[in-house]
A and B are shown apart, each in its own frame.
Chain A
Amino acid sequence: MMKEIVNRLKEKFPVTAEIYQRDDLTFVTVEKKYGVDAVAYLKEYEGFTHLVLLTAVDWLEEGEFQLTYLLNNPKAKHDIGLRVRIDRETAEMQTAHHLWPAVTTYEQELNEMFGISFPGSPRQGHRFILDEAWQGPPPYRRDFDTKKYSEETYFPRPGRSKIDPAEHMKKKLYPEGM
């Protein structure tokens, strides 16, 4: 069943990878330039009318972001995850807000937290989750050091020490040693 859908998708767009996770869950990867077209095809022709989520994974070592459009077919109760790899440096992707208005929110979040830009999408660059005065880099990128940022910005109180719970309990329960 899912194989047929993927095969039909393959005829239209070059699919670079496919994973059959469960009977009702499949992940396919397409190239960036076919991404939104493939989503539109799945929505219009294959009945995947519901967008569950749009999320990003930061593959720092490979220099790429992986976007996942998770789509759901409410009639057949199938899910398909459409993955797109985009370059980490330019970090740009076509917008899909014309398919579902709700995509705008996901795109705004990715724009804010990962620094991925979606040209043409509404409310890009407007503050959404972060504070209006946020100056730092996008905080969900893996090369963003939250500890360093926090220490530089939020006036840490000195004298903070760390205790390993296992060591502490061992010392407390068996003072003479095991």
Chain B
Amino acid sequence: MEKFKDFKKRTVIAPDGEKIEIDPMKDYYCDAIPTPRKDYDKIPGILENFKNWARSESLWILAYGSGCGAIEMRPLMTPKHDAYRYGIQWRPTPRQANLLMISGYLSVKTLRIVVRAYEQMPSPKYVMGLGSCTINGGMYWDSYNTINRLDHFMPVDTYVTGCMPRPEALIAGFDELKKIIRAGKGVGADKYAENFAWYKENQKKILGDVGLPEYSW
């Protein structure tokens, strides 16, 4: 880890005045890049199929509104649409979520957070892009700070088109995603690990090295 050797130890002052030094490598950064699962692209066996069924029937969404589509998610919780009956829940922390919803346009600053949130989710994890902005930039296609296509920065399992898609379209998208997962094709995290260099290159082209560690678990 040549590039990390300059990092200084962070000193934290405890409430009782004691000074604690924190090792920079154990602080924010992880030196291990992700590895794909073994045989992830083979036809899944019975056990894996069962697990995939459970994963598809229990989609926990990271409730992080990255764009205007965050508004479309609220109706899904309400009596009219009630996505809970399809096993969909909202979790407030990336650690407990397995579906990251990119709800519309991604500005450069949001992309930085989204990449870190994605890397912190436990795999197998899925990404769903909402609206035309994630596909080709939508109405912000010539903007100076909105990225144009999401799949250059993280693997996307499903897109839901529209500007913005209606909540019904979102439910249809969940249905589509469930089919993909049950067929054993929800291998985004493994693809990310496999093509890690390419994804990182794309991310760093825009985000630079600022606050973007090699891999944040």
Which residues on A are within 8 Å of B, measured CB to CB?
130-136, 139, 144, 146-147, 149-151, 153-157, 160
Partner of A136, one of B107, B109, B144, B148: B144
Question: CB-nearest residue of chain A relative to B205?
Answer: A153
How far apart sit A136 and B144, CA to CA, in the bound complex (Å)?
Answer: 9
Question: Apart from A153-B206, A154-B148, A156-B141, what 13 extra A-B contacts exist at CB < 8 Å?
Answer: A130-B145, A131-B107, A133-B208, A134-B108, A146-B142, A146-B143, A150-B144, A151-B142, A153-B205, A154-B147, A154-B149, A155-B147, A160-B136
Count of A-B residue pairs with CB < 8 Å: 62
A128 to chain B, nearest CB (A): 11
> Which residues of chain B are near A132, meaning CB under 8 Å?
208, 210-211
> What are 13 A-B contacts defined by CB distance under 8 Å?
A131-B107, A131-B108, A132-B210, A133-B207, A133-B209, A135-B208, A144-B144, A153-B206, A154-B137, A155-B152, A155-B202, A157-B135, A157-B137
| Interface bits B176-214 vs A (CB < 8 Å: 1, else 0) | 000000000000000000000000001001111111000
> Which residues of chain B are near A151, meaning CB under 8 Å?
142
> Which residues of chain A are near B166, meaning CB under 8 Å?
none
Task: Name the 3 nearest CB pairs between A and B, nearest first.
Answer: A133-B208, A147-B142, A157-B136
Question: CB-nearest residue of chain A relative to B206?
Answer: A153
B209 to chain A, nearest CB (A): 8
Which residues on B are within 8 Å of A, measured CB to CB?
107-109, 112, 135-137, 141-149, 152, 202, 205-211
How far apart sit A17 and B30, CA to CA, in the bound complex (Å)?
Answer: 61
A155 to chain B, nearest CB (A): 5
B106 to chain A, nearest CB (A): 10
A100 to chain B, nearest CB (A): 27
Question: CB-nearest residue of chain A relative to B204?
Answer: A133
A85 to chain B, nearest CB (A): 26
Secondary structure type dominating chain A contacts: loop
> Which residues of chain B are near A135, meaning CB under 8 Å?
208
B113 to chain A, nearest CB (A): 11
B137 to chain A, nearest CB (A): 7
Question: CB-nearest residue of chain B relative to A133?
Answer: B208
B210 contacts A154, C-beta separation under 8 Å = no
A155 contacts B112, C-beta separation under 8 Å = no
> Which residues of chain B are near A156, meaning CB under 8 Å?
136-137, 141, 148-149
How far apart sit A151 and B142, CA to CA, in the bound complex (Å)?
Answer: 7
> Which residues of chain A are near B146, meaning CB under 8 Å?
150, 154
How far apart sit A134 and B144, CA to CA, in the bound complex (Å)?
Answer: 10
B207 contacts A131, C-beta separation under 8 Å = yes
> Which residues of chain B are near A144, meaning CB under 8 Å?
144
A155 contacts B142, C-beta separation under 8 Å = no
B144 contacts A139, C-beta separation under 8 Å = yes
A35 to chain B, nearest CB (A): 29
How far apart sit A168 and B184, CA to CA, in the bound complex (Å)?
Answer: 42
> Which residues of chain B are near A134, meaning CB under 8 Å?
108, 145
How far apart sit A160 and B206, CA to CA, in the bound complex (Å)?
Answer: 22
A139 contacts B145, C-beta separation under 8 Å = yes
A157 contacts B148, C-beta separation under 8 Å = yes
Partner of B148, one of A133, A139, A146, A155: A155
Question: CB-nearest residue of chain B relative to A135?
Answer: B208
